[in-house]
Structure 1
């Protein structure tokens, strides 16, 4: 399938959704402050392009910082759990507990502890993505084929060499899957933190626009956030496919 054909399907789907949106806003007798028309959102996006750009940059920096820290921290913890079963027994319940508590409940505490700046939003993004990265990478390390490990040990490989040259390469596809999920949900943590307490960012802009009944600006910020998330995921997917070039590529049907 050519690149043009792969891009055509999401564009057609997006065009169809915009047409449905425009039809509901035009003939659905919905007040503009509840559902603005696409052209009104486009005008608000152009009129407030500078504000949207600055807000998007703030959220992007928070997301990227949280993504880097979350992937590094989650990967390191997964390696420790692979090396030591006792570490896994003690830390895995804590990792699960971090997901049992809703991030919305933790956001006010993080703002109180880390302030209204970027730090609290970065920590929130780390908490959101920590579990998928840790769990997927740990599962990949545990599910290494036993024949590979036995062969390496038969050849005299030490425990560290088995981890470095056998288990780690075998777990890279699982880590890549976790990183893709983390990239898609990392902006959630940043935006939730901005909703609770911030002075900039797309989440702060959406909250401010909502209190002022500027629904067109709120939709514009939401569209910018969606586009940013899609581009981040696409960039991460491209980078991982280039890095793991030896993996077979799955070709989708027409």
Structure 2
């Protein structure tokens, strides 16, 4: 894992080159700052406007984490139920796929009508965004458990519950963590979308106010911190996977 992090200098270098090209292109083409600000103006606004922005950032972090925990729990519980009860899986799984074809931005106003402007519609939005990747990843992980290991445990006298908790669930942890990584990044996006529903604070509110006043530099500041927050959540899940799925790492090292 440490070696992978050390290799991060390559994309960091590419990103730095893109910022340099962006800065030079804006200056040479004399593009107005309200249309496309240079990276230096964005960085300056991030530093000078931190006193006002950090409250919005804290609100989005809290909402993202809460929604991620709830969405992950719902997704994993759904996957377990669908896996253990085939009849439910055959009936519900196609509906879950159809639910992902409904744009969240279209569904959001309906949630406000049904549940008001409180916390509930925001949590529902994040949950809808987060639960599906975990459900699909966990189901795939359960199904990929080697049949020979199942037969061995059944011969040893294991019942269905023991088979799931002692074999299928541990074996599916790498797949579950893959779903968690995706959902962790989606949770930030879901939080920002949910804040457009009428929150008092948050990065979504900050972006709305900035775009309405043509403060493009502030919009880019919000985008920058959304990316940073998504990356940090991804790294946290990656770190948890590193310590909890050691057997998979040891197996890869032996190969």
TM-score under structure 1 normalisation? Answer: 0.93
Indicate the residue corresponding to 1:30 in structure 2. 31
Aligned counterparts, 1:215-254, within 5 A? 215-248=216-249
Contact 1:111–1:193, Cα closer than 8 Å, also in 2 = no
Q: Distance in 2 between matches of 1:111 and 1:58?
A: 19
Indicate the residue corresponding to 1:170 in structure 2. 171
Q: How far off is 1:239 after superposition?
A: 1.2
Call closer, same or farther: CA 1:66–1:19 in 2, change over 3 Å. Answer: same
Call closer, same or farther: CA 1:4–1:139 in 2, change over 3 Å. Answer: closer
1:76 has 2:77 as partner: yes
Q: How far off is 1:118 after superposition?
A: 3.3
Q: How far off is 1:117 after superposition?
A: 3.4
Secondary structure, in 3 states, of the residue corresponding to 2:120? helix
Aligned counterparts, 1:1-12, within 5 A? 2=3, 5-12=6-13
Contact 2:177–2:237, Cα closer than 8 Å, also in 1 = no
Call closer, same or farther: CA 1:20–1:112 in 2, change over 3 Å. Answer: farther
Instruction: Give unpaired runs (5+ residues) of structure 2.
Output: none
Indicate the residue corresponding to 1:197 in structure 2. 198
Indicate the residue corresponding to 1:143 in structure 2. 144
Indicate the residue corresponding to 2:56 in structure 1. 55
Contact 1:22–1:37, Cα closer than 8 Å, also in 2 = yes
Aligned counterparts, 1:111-190, within 5 A? 111-190=112-191
Stretches (4+) displaced over 6 A: none
Q: Distance in 1 between matches of 2:5 and 2:135?
A: 36
Q: Distance in 2 between matches of 1:62 and 1:175?
A: 22
Q: How far off is 1:114 after superposition?
A: 3.0
Show CA shifts across 1:18-59 (max 9, x none).
Answer: 112211211123221110111211221122102211111111
Q: Distance in 2 between matches of 1:232 and 1:206?
A: 21
Call closer, same or farther: CA 1:3–1:149 in 2, change over 3 Å. Answer: closer
Q: Distance in 2 between matches of 1:20 and 1:186?
A: 31
Q: How far off is 1:68 after superposition?
A: 0.5
Aligned residues: 251
Aligned counterparts, 1:37-52, within 5 A? 37-52=38-53
Contact 1:116–1:199, Cα closer than 8 Å, also in 2 = no
Q: How far off is 1:194 after superposition?
A: 1.6
Instruction: Say what the alpha-carbon RMSD is for the aligned residues.
Output: 1.7
Contact 1:209–1:215, Cα closer than 8 Å, also in 2 = yes
Q: Distance in 1 between matches of 2:3 and 2:102?
A: 44
Q: Distance in 1 between matches of 2:155 and 2:4?
A: 46
Instruction: Give unpaired runs (5+ residues) of structure 1.
Output: none
Q: How far off is 1:126 after superposition?
A: 0.8
1:212 has 2:213 as partner: yes
TM-score under structure 2 normalisation? Answer: 0.92
Contact 2:138–2:179, Cα closer than 8 Å, also in 1 = yes
